[in-house]
Amino acid sequence: MAEDRPTSRMFAGMPWGTIIAVVVVAVIGAVLWVTLGSRSSGDDQQAASDASSDPAGDIPGVVEIEYPAGDHVEAPKRVAYDQSPPFGGTHDQIWATCTGVVYPTAIRSENAVHSLEHGAVWITYNPDVATADQIDVLSAMVEGQPYTLMSPYPGLDTPISIQSWGHQLKLDDPSDPRLVEFIEALRLNESAYPEPGASCASPSFDVNNPPPFDPNPPGPDAAPVTE
């Protein structure tokens, strides 16, 4: 007599109707697991793709401009930036140290833009408009934080402006939750800046005596923001 197969033993004693029902449930469960698993994986991949294409897409008020990796200039050459503060394009060959430095004086824009290319966020404020309390709050958010820097920006048209490569958000108050959202979305987001892995330590940049901000419009010999 032939030995019973494992399946035969498993279903021994069951009515045929019960056996058919068990098999149908198992098949339906397997199909649903494969289908939903595939759909979930696809949704996750799509969400990651959407976030990668526009990491600040859900933050109202963010201005986004696509800048290619910038060419370099050497000080004291200026760049004819198209935004104020600038947040992309041609920049100085030396980047401003962005290891959580709070600069007490305005710094040269061309150096700060290079920091953005490395994945930093640059917080600026109008020293004639922002209050001392607001400046203290901003300083506490930046001081000692990697890939961040902060400096006054004379003539800024709002009290506060935050920049990353290709992105800018202007605000009236540091308590605005979009400020933190911007930092979380765009600091070191590899989809949003040209040089992943670049350092924010800048041995050639004097933190205690940084190149000063020039409030005058750039002259006719200024480099274009993009080539």
State residue 70's pLDDT score.
87
CB-based contacts of 94, cutoff 8 Å, min separation 6:
75, 111, 114, 202, 204, 205
Average pLDDT over residues 48-73: 83
CA distance 164 to 87: 6
Q: Over the chain, what is the mean pLDDT? A: 84
Average pLDDT over residues 94-108: 98
Confidence bin at 8 (pLDDT 50/70/90):
very low
**209 φ/ψ angles, rounded to the nearest 5 degrees:** -145, 65
Confidence bin at 20 (pLDDT 50/70/90):
very low
Tell me whether residue 111 is exposed, middle or buried, using C-beta atoms within 10 angstroms of its C-beta: 0 to 12, 13 to 18, 19 or more. buried
Average pLDDT over residues 56-62: 95
Question: Over the stretch 125-174, which tens digit does the pLDDT of each residue have?
Answer: 999 999 999 999 999 999 999 999 999 999 999 999 999 999 999 999 99
pTM of the model: 0.78
- DSSP H/E element including 24: helix 16-53
State residue 195's pLDDT score.
95
With H, G, I as helix, E, B as strand and everything else as coil, classify residue 3: coil
Q: Are 128 and 152 in contact (CB under 8 A)?
A: no
